[in-house]
Amino acid sequence: MLVVMEKNATSEQVEAVIHAIENCGFTARPIPGGDRVSIGVLNNDGPVDAGLFISLPGVKDAVAVTKPYKLVSREVQPENTVVTVGEVSIGGGVPVLMAGPCAIENESQALTIARHVRAAGAQFFRGGAFKPRTSPYSFQGLGEEGLKIMARVRAETGMPIVTEVMNETTFDLVEAYADIIQIGTRNMQNFTLLRRAGQSAKPILLKRGMSATLDEWFMAAEYILEGGNINVILCERGVRTFVRHSRNTLDLSAIPVVQRESHLPIIVDPSHAAGRREQVAPLARGAIATGADGLMVEVHHTPEKALSDGAQSLLPDQFAHLCRQVRALHEVLATV
Amino acid sequence: MLVVMEKNATSEQVEAVIHAIENCGFTARPIPGGDRVSIGVLNNDGPVDAGLFISLPGVKDAVAVTKPYKLVSREVQPENTVVTVGEVSIGGGVPVLMAGPCAIENESQALTIARHVRAAGAQFFRGGAFKPRTSPYSFQGLGEEGLKIMARVRAETGMPIVTEVMNETTFDLVEAYADIIQIGTRNMQNFTLLRRAGQSAKPILLKRGMSATLDEWFMAAEYILEGGNINVILCERGVRTFVRHSRNTLDLSAIPVVQRESHLPIIVDPSHAAGRREQVAPLARGAIATGADGLMVEVHHTPEKALSDGAQSLLPDQFAHLCRQVRALHEVLATV
Amino acid sequence: MLVVMEKNATSEQVEAVIHAIENCGFTARPIPGGDRVSIGVLNNDGPVDAGLFISLPGVKDAVAVTKPYKLVSREVQPENTVVTVGEVSIGGGVPVLMAGPCAIENESQALTIARHVRAAGAQFFRGGAFKPRTSPYSFQGLGEEGLKIMARVRAETGMPIVTEVMNETTFDLVEAYADIIQIGTRNMQNFTLLRRAGQSAKPILLKRGMSATLDEWFMAAEYILEGGNINVILCERGVRTFVRHSRNTLDLSAIPVVQRESHLPIIVDPSHAAGRREQVAPLARGAIATGADGLMVEVHHTPEKALSDGAQSLLPDQFAHLCRQVRALHEVLATV
Amino acid sequence: MLVVMEKNATSEQVEAVIHAIENCGFTARPIPGGDRVSIGVLNNDGPVDAGLFISLPGVKDAVAVTKPYKLVSREVQPENTVVTVGEVSIGGGVPVLMAGPCAIENESQALTIARHVRAAGAQFFRGGAFKPRTSPYSFQGLGEEGLKIMARVRAETGMPIVTEVMNETTFDLVEAYADIIQIGTRNMQNFTLLRRAGQSAKPILLKRGMSATLDEWFMAAEYILEGGNINVILCERGVRTFVRHSRNTLDLSAIPVVQRESHLPIIVDPSHAAGRREQVAPLARGAIATGADGLMVEVHHTPEKALSDGAQSLLPDQFAHLCRQVRALHEVLATV
């Protein structure tokens, strides 16, 4: 942190700031400038609260210089984290494909879709058993019955499953069934859930919050790593902006920045970003070409009858075409 | 919902949409226009998913016409909800003042601040025992010990207490101590917590999510009302925008819109919106003059030593001055 | 500017950055920290481009420390700028009221409204002769004829007039008629227009851009001051955010921040922020209580027939009530 | 437009709305629903102002149903517009590459960069002679001398040139030199400039405004088409959001939506979106894979000495690599 003094700050004011910094146990390093003095705050362990200094007399601003995260930082771990589930690696250089319906509706629906997406090349089956819904009147998912159906789909197709956990009460249950546990957008800063995820032996897929900065997202992942679970996969799914032509604005610039700042893999969910089928495949291709480590895509064979998110689900044929494009993009970018 | 057809949609496409609407159990009412046909969707109970129709051939758009909330709507309950705690009414025409530190640090700190804010005119003491923090390395609150301190403050000063609940595991505990239970910004769409709050006999103070639309906020409140708890107080606390000169952008236009659309009271938290002390009193005055039913303000007698949010805490004298201004503004607006 | 090196930056990399800074004619001051080195850039005259350093090897970030504006800064001029037009002062402690229709439609309309707003207490008559419209098919204003009508209104009522200039071609014409020249939101960074305004002897009312930061707004004002025209009035009118219940999100926190950072007066336009009549008076009261130096409000006696912005225009009686409230708020805040 | 009545609206209120609609010369079509009446507004030519109805008694809302643009709409012209400059087609199925420095600094710099980008495969040379700069103290471009240098570059290399026009005063001058005239982000709603562009025989590259919706962007293009110039190329360059890790947030979902709604070609500028070199190539690849009709990229051979935007300029080798990737992506997507 750098504490910037006003141009006309007195030397007594500068001294008082130095004293305040040292009182917190940090080291103060004054930096006389042309116009004004700034004072560096050094030897802090963890983030420094700007509020400790910003309201002292003569202080103009307090500017954060270093990042608050540690364990997720590439400065701490230079090599990529590769999350392995069965025979599939996430973050290992080949894009991974997770696909399935928004919500598990019944066994026939789940199996039908799973067979389609496996045939198209998906490595993971995704589906929701516990569904966070904006309206209390909307379908809330099948709950444990949905998890059991997913387990049967796994037994039948061999695909590991990704499903969302909504709260700590059902965490053990979801953990018992899932191969990868998803923490959703609305729970990215549910710190109780993050702490519980930190104690899990299963990989965690952590979706970015609707209006989360990368620092906030990294800090949410830090909760999980700090708890001892190093298998975290980040998932960009669009952020809320003034834009209305897509449900959310997919922020593909997060991919190169995450890959520079952190060692964790990052995949992209184009379905929730788009909210409309015709944008999904273009954005999915864009994500892969930008460098994403994988995709999570909603697929439904009868989207007009889906109990949720039908509008953004690809049809099986569309998904199969997308898979061919993803493989071709990956191959060409690996060689050019 | 209105399904808008493309200009060149065929009559077969129009028929197919009508059929799809009727298959959902709704009534379809075609509206021939100058250029194109639109089809109204009627007799739906609850929100209609645009996705059911938007991807059918010949459909250009599907536009929501009515609002998805019911119990929170002023159309359902025309008269204001007034939440009463002891002798204080929230939403009854006189602005209510809730004040205290961000976090309870120890009994002496809590009591000192409580006495200051009571003397200044606050009716509620606010303080955090369980603190949602962006960083796992930051102070997380005193937990149950914080609740006990707040109970002693209440016994000593007579002020009812407002404190945040972070998860369902500690809900019973917080409920046992609090007079008003706060659900924080990051939990506005923690639906498990909202369902539990719906079963509580205590009033719920529901903060707006960082990037929540009013419809989403109303739907979060709808979860609580639907569960049977009608004592919900909304709290605007700023939303995330591109603006960086305040921590969040306080959206005071929410006040007249909430008051038009809903019967629930709405208060304002200028402290978290501002993030900096010097903006707090101006925004607090602005909120009252705009018509807020009250304020929740952070106050600390030694903010430079506060364990969290020191930068945005008012000093006791500043808070006392603000209270005098709030009373004066209320009186003058009641008469002019 | 502070150039922050990576933890593992080599001393050769640090030297190269120092060299690059000195090559630009600035002074480099290395600041060894606990973990990493940072290098202060001193003696720069004007903003430093982070791009000059950020891509050098071993550099993690380049953080702006000081502000790019000079003439608008309170550090350069500590006392408030008070803009005087005839007998009215803007920024002198008493809130000023500017009111009138969005667009001048004809003399009878303009005079009718002007008499209403003067009777209610407005000091300035506002009206548009050249109208920037999103659609080429919308009413574009009466042009010079509108200016002539405003001049007759001024002659008749004694009210000085505020009107918008859209381009440099018509600047001389608008300047000849207006008492205060408005530069609109969409032109806040029309630098040609700003340079021309810098050469005018008339005060400039500079509206904030739809998504302008305060620094960008100050820099736009800096163009005008740098040209020699020191009579600039800032006007907050809402910014674009994800929020849809008002046309724009009024950012009242800009008021205390502008008043801290700059000596220029700041007024508020609640009409364009709201976009709907019922929000205008609440937001206008909020702006005054927050500390605005005045208001600019749209008023129309037959808004259902207005050629533009009818939905957000107050009726004369509503405006008169608002004026009484504004005066009462100002008086009470001046004494409490 | 659909005017939605409140549930308890009286039949007199409904009649009054119908009357108001018909008074405007439109047709009113009442649609009785389950709970409430809505009234369709038909036979309007151009956008209808919601304000005309929204404040009438008993009206709850007024919802736009159709789009305000005409000439840019694919409903009006189903086939793609292909803009041809010399032998190069934009929008014809093969992505076009425009590259060069942010600002023309001198002939040697311009020629050096032009040769590099031509060798790499760029078809257009871009460079700024008139530069819109946030600060009045920053380099403002060489003006006409810059245009002359670009003309010599064209003569030397055979590349047509793209350059920005900042105002109507210099439009004739820029038009005389440029092969494609760029209207920048800050001028997207400079309606005077748009009208002038509508009279030009040269193609216009219209950048999206910093916070423009697609409708606003389309309406800006509509000004140009309405004036008679049908050769408009849209350019997505990132929008302003809360995100800070890139300068702006590149909105790639605009590509499929523009291609669905309009016949105009759309290219992408990843340099201004990113603001940092290391994000440019990933975003550029993402844009091509999403389906953009081309790219505009900043390139500089000595970016650490660039007079503007050095941080986001690719080095010639990086650009050459990107060109190979773009060609490979295009080929593979054309065949899979």
Give the pLDDT band of residue C152 (cuts 50, 70, 90).
very high
Residues of chain C with a CB closer than 8 angstroms to some CB in chain A: 2, 4, 6-8, 27, 29, 31, 33-36, 38, 40, 42-44, 61, 63, 65-66, 75, 240-242
> How far, in Å, CA of D84 to CA of D68, rounded?
28
Tell me the per-residue pLDDT of B180-223, one tens digit each, with 9 for 90 and over: 999 999 999 999 999 999 999 999 999 999 999 999 999 999 99
* Tokens representing residue C116 in the block: 């209403």
Task: State residue B80 phi and psi, 5-degree precision.
Answer: -60, 140
Per the CB < 8 Å rule, is C40 touching A61? no
Check residue C45 and give its pLDDT: 67
Task: Decide if C255 contacts C283 (C-beta within 8 A).
Answer: no
pLDDT band (50, 70, 90) for residue D40 = confident
Largest CA distance in chain C: 76
Nearest CA-CA distance, residue A62 and chain D, Å: 18
Q: What is the pLDDT of residues C16-75, one digit of tens each?
A: 999 888 888 888 888 877 678 888 887 776 667 777 787 788 888 887 777 888 999 998
| B126-B128-B130 Cα angle (round to 5) | 150
Q: Do A167 and B189 touch (CB under 8 A)?
A: no
pLDDT tens-place string over residues D219-274: 999 999 999 999 999 999 999 999 999 999 999 999 999 999 999 999 999 999 99
Chain-centre distance of CA A314, in angstroms?
Answer: 22
Angle at which helix D107-120 crosses helix D144-157, to 10 degrees, equals 40
What does pLDDT average to over chain D? 93
Domain ranges of chain B: 2-63, 83-335
What is the number of other CB atoms lying within 10 angstroms of the CB of residue A199?
A: 12
- What DSSP assignment string belongs to B224-243? HHHTT---EEEEE--B--S-
Q: CA of D80, closest CA in chain B: separation in Å?
A: 18
Per-residue pLDDT at B284: 98
Residue that has been written with the tokens 């840019």 in this structure:
D72
Running DSSP on this structure, what letter comes out for residue C76? T
The answer to whether B51 contacts A135, with C-beta atoms less than 8 Å apart, is no
Partner-chain contact C252 B252, CB within 8 Å: yes
Q: Which of C239, C242, C336 minimises the CB distance to B243? A: C239
Percent of chain C beyond pLDDT 70? 99
The answer to whether the beta carbons of residues A208 and A220 sit under 8 Å apart is no
Tell me the nearest-neighbour CA distance from B212 into chain C, angstroms. 8
Q: Across the interface, do C65 and A61 touch by the CB < 8 Å criterion?
A: yes
CB contact under 8 A, C65 and A38: yes
Cβ atoms of residues A205 and A182 within 8 Å: yes
Question: Which residues have CB under 8 Å from D189's CB, separation 6+?
Answer: C132, C134, C186, D209, D212, D216, D220
- Pick from A245, A250, A332: which is nearest to D328 by CB? A332
Query: For C83-335, which CATH superfamily applies?
Result: Aldolase class I (3.20.20.70)
Helix (H) or strand (E) holding A198: helix A191-198
* A106-114 contacts, C-beta under 8 A, 24 or more apart: A106/A149, A107/A149, A107/A152, A107/A153, A109/A301, A110/A149, A110/A150, A110/A152, A110/A153, A111/A152, A111/A153, A111/A156, A111/A157, A112/A301, A113/A299, A113/A300, A113/A301, A113/A316, A114/A153, A114/A156, A114/A157, A114/A159
Q: Is the pLDDT reported for residue D34 higher than 80?
A: no
Phi then psi dihedrals of residue A161, to 5 deg: -120, 145
Nearest chain D Cα distance for residue A249, angstroms:
6
Instruction: Give whole-number Cα distances, D7 to B14, D10, D23, D58, in Å.
Output: 28, 9, 24, 8
Look up residue B36 and give its two tokens: 């194109």
State the chains in contact with A (3 or more Cβ–Cβ pairs under 8 Å): B, C, D
Distance between CA atoms of residues C262 and C78, nearest Å: 8
- From D191's Cα to the closest Cα of chain A, the distance in A is 22
Q: Quick one: which of D149, D141, D136 has its CA closest to D103?
A: D141
Selected residue of D214, D240, D252, D276 to mutate for chain A interface (largest A Cβ count, 10 A): D252
Chains in contact with B, where contact means 3 or more Cβ–Cβ distances below 8 Å, are A, C, D
The residues with which B183 forms a beta bridge, in sequence order, are: B165, B206
**Highest CATH level, class, for C2-63:** alpha beta
Query: What is the pTM for the complete model shown?
Result: 0.94
The tens digit of pLDDT for each residue in D49-62 reads 777 787 788 888 88
Residue with tokens 């904006």, as numbered in its chain: A134
Any bridge partners for residue A73, and if so which? A262
The residue among B235, B234, B243 whose CA lies nearest residue B275 is: B243
When CB atoms are compared, the residue of D251, D283, D328 closest to A249 is D251
Termini Cα distance of chain D: 42
In total, the C-beta contacts within 8 angstroms joining chain B to chain D are: 56
- CA dist C214 and C226 (Å) reads 18
Minimum CA–CA partner of A192 in chain B: B167
Of C202, C300, C307, C284, nearest to C237 by C-alpha is: C284
Instruction: Please measure the distance between the N-terminal and C-terminal CA atoms of chain C and give it in whole angstroms.
Output: 42
Quickly count helices (H) and strands (E) in chain A. 11, 14
- Whole-angstrom distance, CA of residue A188 vs CA of residue D72: 41
Of D50, D167, D191, the CB nearest to C192: D167
Q: What would the DSSP string read from start to end of C104-130?
A: ---HHHHHHHHHHHHHHT-SEEE-BSS
Return d(Cα C185, Cα B213) in angstroms, integer: 25
Strands D161-165 and D124-126: parallel
Q: What are phi and psi of C88, to 5 degrees?
A: -105, 135
Which chain B residues are closer than 8 Å to A169 by Cβ? Answer: 168-169, 192
What are the tokens at D281?
């190539």
- Which tokens belong to D191? 């309606």
Q: Which of B46, B169, B309 sits opposite A168 (nearest CB)?
A: B169
Domain C2-63 identical in fold to domain C83-335: no
Packing angle of the helix pair A316-335, A277-290 (nearest 10 deg)? 20
Question: Which residues of chain D are within 8 Å of residue B4 when distances are taken between CB atoms?
Answer: 65-66
Task: Extract the residue ranges of chain A whose pLDDT is less than 50.
Answer: none
Residue C112 contacts residue C153 (beta carbons within 8 Å): no
- How far, in Å, CA of B39 to CA of B144, rounded? 56
Residue that has been written with the tokens 């505009």 in this structure: D296
Report the pLDDT value the prediction gives residue D45, as an integer from 0 to 100.
67
From chain B, the residues in CB contact with C243 under 8 A are 213, 239, 251, 253
Contact D284, D295 (CB under 8 A): yes
The Cα–Cα gap between A301 and A113 comes to 6
pLDDT tens readout for residues B285-329: 999 999 999 999 999 999 878 877 778 899 999 999 999 999 999
Q: Which is nearest to B24 in space by CA: B44, B50, B2, B1?
A: B44
Chain A: give the shortest CA distance to residue D251, in Å. Answer: 6
Chains adjacent to D (≥3 CB pairs closer than 8 angstroms)? A, B, C
Of A43-47, B21-25, C138-142, give the lowest mean pLDDT range. A43-47
The ipTM estimated for the assembled molecules is: 0.92
Residue D32, number of CB atoms within 10 A of its CB: 13
